[in-house]
Structure 1
């Protein structure tokens, strides 16, 4: 392609010697430039471009218009030798030459250069990096690496790796698309040859592959029993014994569990590779050991053992609620219902009550022992007992004598006697003392302190430290699983409960030793209603029932 410009030229006529008779003619000289024919070149190769201009006294200047960058521009001179850039894909470069001759305007022309990518393929290389000292043996980690593969293009890189096992045994491999590949040397009845292929791909899509041969040696012992990891658990927890990580060269195998040491545990099925049991009630840390025998389909065997450390559960010294059932909004449901999780029956001591090693008797996790008048234990089914030992809290509770007569003509510990709140060792101020022979048979008064003194004076049930229970202690007798019944306490353990409603205002109020400090006065103490389980701040000058308690 040429570009042109006109140069004005003034001439004199020879006929008139530039003087008279002649005329001046304005002539134009054409200025042009040609960048040359378009070119096709390969990346990183040299090529030459040559421009031609007219008239011949002009200067040439080259500039790059578009395409991958070339070094050195702008350049001066008609002929230029250039090196095609290193490119990833086929590209086009446009160069422009400008020509300026004396007295004329500059003219220009473009040349197009098609540059073809000439990708050099990568080099795939496999090396074995583990084990450090070959050959590998059973359970060794074997690692193959493609990191020594290379990319000859200076500005190139390897983008991906693909491993393929062309022949050999099945292997447990998590990924085939990383620079390295690892697997565990399997259990083998005979040595096996493996043929691997690694394909690497560079950033221009170029691929190269290589293959690698290796041998995995056979294993002398063809059954490998695995009883699993040692465990640390708490009593009552469900324990799972799992031998499914055992290995054999046959497709199938059988398991047989046996307990070696520790208290006998009931396995769900000792002939299954996965079996369970609930850890027994323990008082101190206890070690259990189990052994599994694995037998393959050809009768070959191996054994392995594990230890289970069972520790006592931190249950505390308070009773649970006595609730052993779960509910939705209206009905009883299974306690493992995900729509109504974390219910009381699923938590705490009551949730594993059927596995508790109880000393005495009681609903769910409640554990009571009957004592006679000398505080000696009597049979659980005895009907002749004077007090109760709570084996959870360690407290000893008063059992009321049978209800007989009419107030105040009743025995000292009759269940229907009731008292005003006054305790000599309380720091909560004075309280009204109930009148003598009114709601109790005392000739002194019907206040709590007088009743405590009279019971201690007879050395009742082998103790002289009887007292009114705290709020928490008394609440611990409530069995909320008995909701809807007349009284929320085990009447086989605590008989002779008075009829509800004998005291005006509250069904079955029982005193606690704790004043209800409401910020304005100390005239009330907490009672717990044994018919509902509710608490109430109750005036101290009113009467309520009492069940004394003492420490052992």
Structure 2
């Protein structure tokens, strides 16, 4: 054993140059490491690492580091040297130094390095030009005098340095046809120009060049076909679809134009393309009206605007109008049929100002001759006259004392001239012992005038019910809404009410012409007590609150039968 040990020691000393006479001997590492061979890879490639190590005592663990340290090394286990990383995107070749350190269980360690050269491999960017298309024309074909926008924003770079800005520059140029790029920006993602107006059809060519973040570039070229001036059709818009009731006015607001001077003027023709037969007022005008036909269920009328230019190019556009049966409601219309523009009010259709009162409702249906009534009345109002015992009066020569509103079902008092209980000249203060807003009013105000002992609303109601006007005994003061339903706001003078059926509404001296409503007003209280009540002025159509001691007229109402 001693001999063997001596022999080994002698061999070691000889191998280390022990006979040189030097006292310093080189030291072998505790752990010997081999990181592998140097290699070169393309950017974005996956690089596999693996080394070897020996020496020390016990199990060996492995760790990789890199310089520069801007890469992420993936190592599943430290008990093995296997690892990998993805080569980054680079604009020039970069050398990475990878160090493998091995550490034994007894703390002994060693390391080795290799170099990985990442090669800059730049893929060319892709230029993409999106071309809008014109309905009714072949692909990439455009009318003359039309604005066109070519869009290169979808150009891309598969290995972009900056994913948020893969293309660093755009360059447009025209390669064919009449120059259309004067005073047009050529260095953005979009190119907008106007096609030329020429006697003959023509071709325009364009090229988009894109540059990526590594100064590589690529191009795409496109060709557009341009129609001649005589081939270029006008544009037309028939308007928007809408819904109306039978008998109402349909607004036909068409529009058409041509950018070709020689194509003008344009001619127009509105056509009815449905089984319904609405009458179009002026079919050769771009803006006109039609009367919605009578229907028993919802039906669709199709209106087509046909436009022809001086080259006989013809285009058309259509709208759908849903015509609904007119259902009876419990509200009167306003009587308004006139229409307003910016500077006038009259009977002319105002298609450019739609949605007015005079465009919709019973009044316009009456004007169009499509409103059926149970009785008679101006505009959309529908009344039936009743005699002194409540029977219907059809003969215009006979007198009547009450009127039934065939929409609301309410029955109204008709005022009389001269001195009588129902005289139009009588005025009353507002007075109610209940539902009075905290103050019952004045029983006999100084300004009120009538043939009763006390001229107030309650006294008048009681007197009329005692006599049984038109054979009814349940008369009352109307509510604000009920009274308002009588207003004929389409009149321009006189009392704003249907005077055919409500004669004697005023006397010559009355202005304003206030009639009391049942509701007290919250305006101007004293404490919690309402001092005022609502009234409507039939001279102007305005409402107001009057002090309850004021003298105003009364028109009684009752529920119908």
Q: Could you state the TM-score of these two structures normalised by the residue count of structure 1?
A: 0.48
Q: Could you state the TM-score of these two structures normalised by the residue count of structure 2?
A: 0.47
Larger Rg: 1
